Structure 1
Amino acid sequence: MVFKKLLGALGVGGPAVDTVLSTPVVQPGGVLQGQVNLTGGTVEADIAGITLTLVARVEIEHEEGESTGLYPFARYSVTPPLHLAPGENRSIPFAFPVPYETPITAIAGQHLTGMALGVRTEVDISGALDKGDSDPLGVEPLPVQRRLLDAFLALGFRFRSADLEAGHIRGTAQSLPFYQEIEFAAAPQYAHACNSVEVTFLTTADRVDVILEADKRGGMFHSGRDVIKHHTVEHSAANQDLTSLVDGWIRSAL
């Protein structure tokens, strides 16, 4: 993955910046690596700093309805102030951790519809900040997250969509300003009781908190409603078949 931009907005003859990700696909809590390549323009440049920002497309609910916007959720400085001479070439390597709550964008190489994450390069030249464009970033699930998703598929749930919602889930230790919802259509054995199930992972270095939201069907004497349940799974559970565990979660919610 490569991002190239001539920083013309910061002055004629400005430097060119080429950000290369050597790990364009990572896992939550993993390390993003690459290098920022600088090429001096026709004039010298004093660069106050270069920052890489992780951004995500997030859905925002408001009184007028719903809209989408880019949310920055992690920032890393990759270089102290430096002076770049005309025509000078310089490469700046970087390596920094991705937050454990970083949402998943793909499973086994298959992109999740609705997900968009990127790495934005910000260059500060003489106090003028150029944010440029974002380099796409792929995030594969951690082993225990993959086990849980496999369990839903094994039970007959069908993947519908995934999105990011701005806000905080009550009663959790969520750290990012948004959370991911992975929606599944109900498996046949649960279809009489619910329409769909949404899964949210709030992951730390020690465990994964799983929030299930079941769209429970109404009956003759009651209306339909959402049922929300919280569960916790250790990373070591990645070595187990979690199908029966997830089945128990669903039956308890319904």
Structure 2
Amino acid sequence: MVFKRLLGSMGVGGPAMDTALDLATAVPGGSLTGEVRLTGGRADFDIEHITLELVARVEAESDGGEHEGALAFQRFQVGGGFRLAEAENRSVPFAVTLPWETPVTQLHGQGLGIALGVRTELGIVGAKYKGDLDPLAVGPLPAQEAILEAFGRLGFGFKSADLEYGRIGGTSQQLPFYQEIELTPAPQYAHQVSEIEVTFLANPSGLEVVLEADKRGGLFTSDHDALSRHVVSHEGVTHRDWNAVVGSWISQLLEAHTARTPYTPYGHGGDHATHTHKVDHGHRSGPGMGTVVAAGAAGLAVGVVGGMVAAEAVDEIGDFFEGDEGDEEGEEA
């Protein structure tokens, strides 16, 4: 995984940078390693800083409706403070830790339609220059994978996934957005719910799992959402009956919300469930990927309709930055 950009704003003979990531697939809270390769130009340049930027395509609601845009949600300074001599080749290795809430972009190698990328910023004598985006693939943590596979074994299917700008009330959410993985209901629940959305908020000790059921309204009732929250540990993932655990979550979610339930405060600790609430953005599901595929023999069926794959979506983010920040290149910092 490499991206490369000639610093044309500095004129012919400026330095070039080429950033290579070591891992094909990272995980939330895991290490991201690689190196930034610099090639000197036709003169010496003082490199003030080298910064990596994590960028995601995020949906947001405003008075004008729903919008999509690119959001830089984490920055790491990985080098700087040296002079790059004329025609010099220099590599700057880096090792950074991804945020625990980094979105999952794929399951069993199958993309979920989430656009996530890495970009390098080079600071030279008071000016900053940004390179192109490169897609970043992030796989699930063991607990996340186990929960999604349990949904699949219980008959749920993958519908779509997106990133929503905003916060989920009452949680320990750290990033300014959260990921929603939208699932079609198993046949036995189809008369009760139109879809279930799963949000993972990972941290060093475990996961907060927020479930949102888009319930079907009857003749005398209106559609409304049911919400619940569960906390699970990273430990002992392989020793739990996840089919039973997830099945009980679904039953509790649907049974406990025959009517709207007001928000109740809760604490933290071991595995437990409670009611919570999300920020109401009136959002819709994001696009999918076009075909139905199997994510593992017993895993979640990844079936999406009519959208773009992750790599294409990252290209779209790149276009957004080119249009939005082009004037920034070459400006004095």
TM-score by length of 1: 0.97
Match for 2:148: what amino acid? L
Paired position in structure 2 for 1:143: 142
Counterpart Cα distance in 2 of 1:242 and 1:108: 18
Match for 2:18: what amino acid? D
Match for 2:60: what amino acid? I
1:236 partner SS = coil
Shift in Å, 1:35: 0.3
Higher relative contact order at CA 8 Å, sep ≥6: structure 1 or structure 2? 2
Flag as ranges the 4+ runs of structure 1 deviating above 3 A. none
Structure 2 vs 1, CA of residues 162 and 149 (structure 1 numbering), >3 Å: closer, same or farther? same
1:253 partner SS = helix
TM-score by length of 2: 0.75
Match for 1:149: what amino acid? L
Counterpart Cα distance in 1 of 2:89 and 2:249: 56
Shift in Å, 1:51: 0.1
Match for 2:168: what amino acid? I
Match for 2:200: what amino acid? F
Counterpart Cα distance in 2 of 1:4 and 1:71: 21
Given that 1:201 and 1:210 are in contact with CA atoms closer than 8 Å, whether structure 2 keeps it comes out as yes
Match for 2:192: what amino acid? A
Shift in Å, 1:131: 1.4
Deviations 1:89-116 (A, max 9, x none): 1001000100110010000110012x01
Given that 1:144 and 1:237 are in contact with CA atoms closer than 8 Å, whether structure 2 keeps it comes out as no
Counterpart Cα distance in 2 of 1:90 and 1:184: 47
Match for 1:199: what amino acid? V
Match for 2:225: what amino acid? D
Shift in Å, 1:237: 4.0
Question: What percentage of aligned pairs have identical amino acids?
Answer: 55
RMSD (Å), alpha carbons: 0.9
Match for 2:155: what amino acid? G
Paired position in structure 2 for 1:156: 155
Paired position in structure 2 for 1:5: 5
Match for 1:7: what amino acid? L
Structure 1 runs not aligned, ≥5 long: none
Given that 1:10 and 1:130 are in contact with CA atoms closer than 8 Å, whether structure 2 keeps it comes out as no
Counterpart Cα distance in 2 of 1:24 and 1:168: 30
Counterpart Cα distance in 2 of 1:54 and 1:31: 13
Counterpart mapping for 1:1-254 below 5 A: 1-113=1-113, 115-239=114-238, 240-254=240-254
Match for 2:180: what amino acid? E
Name whichever of 5-14 and 148-157 sits farther off. Answer: 5-14
Greater strand proportion: 1
Structure 2 runs not aligned, ≥5 long: 255-333
Match for 2:122: what amino acid? V
Paired position in structure 1 for 2:314: none
Match for 2:237: what amino acid? A
